[in-house]
């Protein structure tokens, strides 16, 4: 069977079986999560993650500057560490370079990597350079750390918790649509916003670290594949269901109009667009005011309640503004199939 | 300028400039080494390394089984951690998979990864799966740890130290030559040895950890690019020269005959062949007996004295058995140029 038939998450499930081992007390979270949580000593953990940018899959050389590519390649990893409540510390950069790539391109790529690292207190401590037979590969491994009690896992959501998300959703998906479909248009301001979010997301590192240290949240991850798909990971890990209120989603009106034009569904970018890199988290209803207010005070970043955690039997539902209740289908990005998955 | 003109080490030097920062007390060894050494607490360090296997550059799918490919992809990383005197702990696996690759291939690859991890007390704790537009990429990130005092750097060699190497040299290079040049031949036994070393090197993890814990060695690394090139890294980092006695090199007689046929120089595989993954280390002359005897007792692996460290002004010289003294040219593998470098 071809791997693309099985899909990314099917393949990961199969790999988990192959790798199954007696549990190791030093591995608090292993295969199947974006970030491994490893015991450093009695009260601290190490957080380890990796994410790649592949030319022709994640980016086109013509559409990005090497500086922004460097920043983004690191940013998406910083986002993962932040979403565990951790502090990013050390990065390794593995490059596979095609023939014909210029030294000046690599210089700019590294300047971007360094800028992003400096902005978030991270040091690039090593890496590896290889030749690529075709296309550029920028693979990053990032190590972070955190007090063990600050780490927020996917598995802690409880029935009755509020579901919250930082910033706005769907902008990167709109940016991609505007970039690739000449039939779409938006105001110059929103076009700029959407394309900037696609080219260079802001990893919510300070926000994640604040939320972790607050001990007010119960589960967290970053929205990289689309809210519906990523909320599904929290539901899977926590064995709960979810009700999302479409009318509360932090989505720009122009975004909804573009989504309607491009996909026939005004919520499609917000729910199924990838690369938001916002934090999606849950918190007991009693903590919502403290967490939203505290986060805004500490970081300037807003967070919005978009739904609530319900019993697993209640499923994963989207409540449309007209009151109709539909399945919160998971049609997020499948990195392997390179297409939206259509189940549910 | 095209990156291949600058070469791997030229590019790394340039990247080091771009990344130059005020020194960070938590980064004991950073960019420019195979392994980053990071302070964990007052008496322990974390060791972080990464190495990739790229289809068409490091391997051909037709020439390896996926099981062996998995083992080797991890083995070359284990080798780096061992060569610092550390213990490998946690691995992340980043795969970029081309269309048409089968699920069965990925299963076997992971079985190989797991076997190698289990053999050396390492746990695969995460990773990432992406699509590749062309060719398979297996990129590994490996974390190890060690008591800080056990770590053996490249920079500790002193004038008068003996230069030692474990096992034998040049076999993987002979295996590659036998595989790619039908005009070459060797006895069935040596052919098997050479091809096995190419397909699946044994990382000297236990040996490296023993040497680190013995506190008898002054500098160490693994021979991945060829003894001459890798000894050059010790000379650069320690600001010393080296004299290598060709007649003492642990090289099979058949290897020398093959090297003579293939390259016109009987020492070429031993000095300039890559992928030996043996340990190259230095130790005060007074420690040689204790280290060779102790290592053999503890691990069953032999080590051979192949030369001595001399003042930097004396250069890097190879003493041929006839007494002639020639430059120990560095013609090791350049991962970027995909060819042997010819400078001296």
pLDDT at B341 over 60: no
Q: Which residue of B71, B125, B136 is the best one to mutate when testing the A interface, meaning the one whose CB has the most A CBs within 10 A? A: B125
Using pLDDT thresholds of 50, 70 and 90, give the confidence band for residue B330. Answer: low
Q: Which residue of B25, B42, B44, B52 is the best one to mutate when testing the A interface, meaning the one whose CB has the most A CBs within 10 A? A: B52
Q: Which of A2, A125, A131 sits opposite B102 (nearest CB)?
A: A2
Which residues of chain B have a CB within 8 Å of the CB of A111?
18
Average pLDDT, integer, range A303-309 = 98
Q: What is the pLDDT of residue B41?
A: 79
Dist CA B70 CA A162 (whole Å) = 43
pLDDT at B232 over 80: yes
Q: What 3-state class would DSSP assign to A225? A: coil
Chain B contact present for A28, CB below 8 A? no
Q: What is the pLDDT of residue B343?
A: 30
Place of tokens 């916003």: A193
Q: What is the pLDDT of residues B145-161, one digit of tens each?
A: 999 999 999 999 999 99
Q: What is the pLDDT of residue B337?
A: 55
Across A10-19, A178-187, B146-155, least confident range: A10-19
Q: What 3-state class would DSSP assign to B142? A: strand
B window 182-201, beta carbon within 8 A of A: none
Dist CA A229 CA A163 (whole Å) = 14
pLDDT at A8 over 60: yes
**Distant-in-sequence, close-in-space partners of B162: CB < 8 Å, separation ≥ 6:** B282, B283, B284, B285, B288, B305, B307, B308, B309
Q: Which residue of A129, A144, A333, A337 is the best one to mutate when testing the B interface, meaning the one whose CB has the most B CBs within 10 A? A: A129
pLDDT at A343 over 60: no
Using pLDDT thresholds of 50, 70 and 90, give the confidence band for residue B16. Answer: confident
pLDDT at A344 over 50: no
Which residues of chain B have a CB within 8 Å of the CB of A77?
none
Using pLDDT thresholds of 50, 70 and 90, give the confidence band for residue B195. Answer: very high
Higher pLDDT, B304 or A273: B304
Q: Which residue of B55, B96, B153 is the best one to mutate when testing the A interface, meaning the one whose CB has the most A CBs within 10 A? A: B96
Q: Which of B14, B21, B38 sits opposite A103 (nearest CB)?
A: B14
Chain B residue nearest residue A55, CA to CA: B133
Pairing of strands B44-54, B87-98: unpaired
* Interchain contact, A125 vs B14, CB within 8 Å: no
* Interchain contact, B3 vs A125, CB within 8 Å: no
Structural domains in chain B, sorted by start? 33-150 (3.30.1330.10), 162-327 (3.90.650.10)
Q: Which of A8, A38, A55 sits opposite B129 (nearest CB)?
A: A8
Three-class secondary structure assignment of A266-289: CCHHHHHCCCCCCEEEEECHHHHH
Q: Which of B2, B24, B133 sits opposite A123 (nearest CB)?
A: B24
Q: What is the pLDDT of residue A23?
A: 81
What is the complex's ipTM, to 2 decimals? 0.91
Instruction: List the structure tokens of B141.
Output: 């990130």
* Interchain contact, A130 vs B52, CB within 8 Å: yes
B window 100-129, beta carbon within 8 A of A: 100-104, 106-107, 110-111, 113-114, 118, 123-129
Chain A contact present for B17, CB below 8 A? no
B window 128-157, beta carbon within 8 A of A: 128-135, 137, 139, 141, 143
Instruction: List the structure tokens of B191.
Output: 């052919």
Q: What is the pLDDT of residue A278?
A: 98
pLDDT at A340 over 50: no
Average pLDDT, integer, range A56-75 = 92
- β-sheet bridge partners, residue A98: A132
Q: What is the pLDDT of residue A338?
A: 45
Give chain B's count of helices (H) and strands (E).
10, 15
Give chain A's count of helices (H) and strands (E).
11, 15
Using pLDDT thresholds of 50, 70 and 90, give the confidence band for residue A331. Answer: low
Q: Average pLDDT over chain A, rounded to whole?
A: 92
Are B63 and B69 contacting, i.e. CB atoms less than 8 angstroms apart?
Answer: no
Q: What is the pLDDT of residue B335?
A: 55
B window 258-297, beta carbon within 8 A of A: none
Dist CA B89 CA B189 (whole Å) = 35
* Interchain contact, A50 vs B94, CB within 8 Å: yes
Dist CA A223 CA A221 (whole Å) = 7
Report the Cα B146 to chain-centroid distance in Å. Answer: 19
Burial class (CB within 10 angstroms; exposed 0-12, middle 13-18, buried 19+) of B317: middle
Q: What is the pLDDT of residue B340?
A: 43
Using pLDDT thresholds of 50, 70 and 90, give the confidence band for residue A308. Answer: very high
**Percent of chain A at pLDDT exceeding 70:** 96
Across A117-126, A271-280, A319-328, least confident range: A319-328
Q: What is the pLDDT of residue B331?
A: 58
Q: Which of B36, B106, B128 sits opposite A50 (nearest CB)?
A: B128
Average pLDDT, integer, range B268-295 = 96
Are B67 and B105 contacting, i.e. CB atoms less than 8 angstroms apart?
Answer: no
Which residues of chain B have a CB within 8 Å of the CB of A5?
103
**Percent of chain B at pLDDT exceeding 90:** 78
Longest pairwise C-alpha distance within chain A: 58
Dist CA B280 CA A292 (whole Å) = 57
Dist CA B299 CA B314 (whole Å) = 35
Residue B235's nearest CA partner among B333, B170, B315 is: B315
Dist CA A222 CA A85 (whole Å) = 11
Higher pLDDT, A336 or B297: B297
Average pLDDT, integer, range B26-36 = 91
Q: Which of B38, B133, B335 sits opposite A90 (nearest CB)?
A: B38
Q: Which of A2, A3, A30 sits opposite B126 (nearest CB)?
A: A30
Dist CA A305 CA A303 (whole Å) = 7
Pairing of strands B35-41, B27-29: antiparallel
Burial class (CB within 10 angstroms; exposed 0-12, middle 13-18, buried 19+) of B189: exposed
Q: In what order do the strands lie in the sheet with B303-310?
A: B219-222, B279-283, B162-166, B303-310, B241-245, B316-319, B325-327
Are A155 and A220 contacting, i.e. CB atoms less than 8 angstroms apart?
Answer: no
Dist CA A198 CA A276 (whole Å) = 8
**Percent of chain B at pLDDT exceeding 70:** 96
Q: What is the pLDDT of residue B275?
A: 93
Q: What is the pLDDT of residue B344?
A: 26
Which residues of chain B have a CB within 8 Å of the CB of A123?
21, 24, 26-27, 30
* Interchain contact, A125 vs B38, CB within 8 Å: yes
pLDDT at B108 over 50: yes
Q: What is the pLDDT of residue B117?
A: 97
Average pLDDT, integer, range A43-63 = 92
Burial class (CB within 10 angstroms; exposed 0-12, middle 13-18, buried 19+) of A236: middle
Chain A residue nearest residue B138, CA to CA: A139
Dist CA B81 CA B137 (whole Å) = 21
Residue A46's nearest CA partner among B141, B112, B103 is: B141
Q: Which residue of A2, A3, A101, A113 is the best one to mutate when testing the B interface, meaning the one whose CB has the most B CBs within 10 A? A: A3
Across A1-5, A66-70, B266-270, least confident range: A1-5
Q: What 3-state class would DSSP assign to B250? A: coil
Q: Which of B56, B103, B128 sits opposite A1 (nearest CB)?
A: B103
Burial A29-63 (b: 16+ CB within 10 A, else e): bbbbbbbbbbebeeebbbbbbbbbbbbebbbeeee
Q: What is the pLDDT of residue B329?
A: 78
Q: Which of A1, A27, A51 sits opposite B128 (nearest CB)?
A: A51
Q: What is the pLDDT of residue A17?
A: 86
* Interchain contact, B129 vs A38, CB within 8 Å: no
Count interface pairs A-B at CB distance under 8 A: 246
């Amino acid at each position: 069977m071809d791997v693309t038939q099985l899909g990314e998450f099917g393949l990961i499930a199969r790999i988990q079986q192959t790798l199954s081992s007696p549990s190791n007390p030093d591995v608090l979270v292993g295969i199947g999560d974006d970030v491994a949580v490893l015991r450093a000593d009695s009260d601290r953990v190490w957080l380890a993650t990796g994410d790649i940018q592949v030319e022709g899959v994640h980016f086109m050389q013509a559409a990005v500057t090497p500086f922004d590519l460097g920043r983004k390649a690191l940013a998406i990893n910083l986002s993962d560490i932040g979403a565990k409540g951790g502090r990013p510390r050390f990065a390794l950069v593995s490059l596979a370079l095609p023939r014909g790539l210029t030294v000046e391109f690599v210089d700019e790529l590294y300047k971007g990597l360094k800028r992003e690292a400096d902005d978030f207190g991270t040091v690039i401590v090593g890496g590896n350079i290889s030749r690529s037979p075709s296309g550029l590969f920028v693979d990053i491994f990032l190590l972070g750390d955190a007090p063990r009690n600050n780490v927020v896992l996917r598995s802690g959501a409880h029935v009755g918790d509020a579901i919250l998300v930082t910033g706005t959703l769907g902008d990167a998906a709109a940016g991609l649509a505007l970039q690739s479909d000449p039939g779409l248009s938006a105001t110059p301001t929103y076009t700029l916003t959407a394309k900037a979010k696609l080219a260079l997301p802001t990893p919510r590192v300070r926000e994640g670290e604040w939320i972790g240290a607050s001990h007010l949240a119960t589960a967290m991850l970053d929205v990289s594949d689309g809210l519906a798909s990523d909320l599904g990971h929290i539901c899977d890990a926590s064995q709960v269901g979810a009700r999302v209120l479409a009318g509360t989603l932090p989505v720009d009106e122009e975004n909804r109009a573009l989504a309607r034009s491009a996909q026939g569904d005004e919520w499609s970018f917000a729910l199924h667009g990838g690369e938001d890199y916002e934090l999606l988290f849950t918190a007991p209803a009693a903590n919502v005011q403290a967490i939203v207010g505290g986060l805004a005070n500490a970081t300037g970043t807003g967070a919005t309640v978009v739904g609530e955690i319900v019993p697993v039997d209640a499923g994963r539902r989207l409540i449309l503004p007209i009151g109709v209740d539909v399945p919160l289908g998971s049609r997020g990005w499948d990195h392997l199939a390179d297409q939206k998955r259509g189940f549910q």
